[in-house]
Structure 1
């Protein structure tokens, strides 16, 4: 058995000196896969994601990327190792243009990133159209595309999205999910926390339902959509 490309392995931890929020929680994603974390409010979904990214203390367990133990690295060091993280809020520079936002995403690169910029514009045509516009003037869905595009500018080995469709309309949500599928098809593993559980499970290769910081159900998106208990407890029947 080879280990997953990215794994937060039996993580227990919380914020600062506060109580543990995660209790032996395991989350993993393979190359080219979309793995989603769903569950009720307060289940520890975003906390699990932040633990994998190094934003809170993991008191026991480990985080490994491509076989390397990165448990004690800072978030900044993890970005250099190849982790792209898109937070739910405050994820763009509103006063900068779309193109300047994307350029900011390439801050750790020392090579020519024009090819990556072209790929981002191919993935998100609306951003190319609005590249000279201030990002703060864009719609919610377009801002999320800027945020994802900026993370892609680092040429990440894995992309982590914290509630990418929060606050957008159902039509925009479908479009964002289509783009996320396209990113995964390029081989980049995607780990995603999502409030819209049913829609997220429909595109998930792997899915984790968390309850009170623990793994409650794990399987493919289709398996969990078909699971009567998951449907009853988390998907409204």
Structure 2
């Protein structure tokens, strides 16, 4: 069997002297949707930051397409094929939608007009407002702009930290549909989500973290069917 596209193994690290992650392992195959869920304070976003190089690990390693990238900066990881959409402050509110997307192409030396067209096709509501300042958009539309900007770098791994935070259930379903579409193009997705039940419904692989440690790892379907997971983490 070939190695996973992303392999972050045995991660231990945190802030100051306190460890948030304790032997945490996250892997994602090409074109797979992997979802990290768990209670507040479980280390979900910390795990994402560690994978993206925003947190120095005391132990463990991160590999992308078989290459050890543990020592690389976030900027270097973007050049290697990672795209990261943080939960907040993920757009430039005083720039137009199109300018936001163009900022996403900052590492590109080629003609990115084809990618821009693909983003507009994926997010028609964003295309309709391309001349508007991104700060004037609804919460869901701003999230679409943020995801679109990350796609402009042509990532092979797209990381999303709470992409549906603060949006309506209808917008959440629409965002999840778009995430499925993105994965079908062969891009790997790693996502942290508070809406655990809905996220696991679209997940090929799910990780339940508790105190920075893998408590359960299984397919999304299997985790949804696990009575202990449902009772403890999904509200029954």
TM-score bucket of the superposed structures, by smaller chain: over 0.9
Q: Does 1:112 align with 2:111?
A: yes
Counterpart of 1:129? 128
Matches within 5 A, 1:186-205: 186-205=185-204
* Alpha-carbon distance between aligned partners in 2 of 1:43 and 1:185, rounded to the nearest angstrom: 29
Contiguous gaps of at least 5 residues in structure 1 = none
Matches within 5 A, 1:128-207: 128-207=127-206
Contiguous gaps of at least 5 residues in structure 2 = none
Counterpart of 2:11? 11
Q: Does 1:75 align with 2:74?
A: yes
**For 2:19, what is the secondary structure of its paired residue?**
coil
Q: Which runs of 4+ in 1 moved over 4 A?
A: none
* Alpha-carbon distance between aligned partners in 2 of 1:159 and 1:103, rounded to the nearest angstrom: 18
Counterpart of 1:61? 60
The CA RMSD over aligned residues, in Å, is 0.6
Residues 19-65 of structure 1 show CA distances to partners (whole Å, capped at 9, x for unaligned) of 11100000011111100000000000000010000001111110000
Report the TM-score, using the length of structure 1 for normalisation: 0.99
Counterpart of 1:220? 219
* Alpha-carbon distance between aligned partners in 1 of 2:44 and 2:126, rounded to the nearest angstrom: 29
* Alpha-carbon distance between aligned partners in 2 of 1:104 and 1:150, rounded to the nearest angstrom: 7
Q: Quote how far apart the aligned CAs of 1:18 are.
A: 2.8
Q: Quote how far apart the aligned CAs of 1:2 are.
A: 2.2
Residues 186-207 of structure 1 show CA distances to partners (whole Å, capped at 9, x for unaligned) of 1100000000000000000000
Counterpart of 1:211? 210
* Alpha-carbon distance between aligned partners in 1 of 2:75 and 2:195, rounded to the nearest angstrom: 29
Q: Quote how far apart the aligned CAs of 1:10 are.
A: 1.0
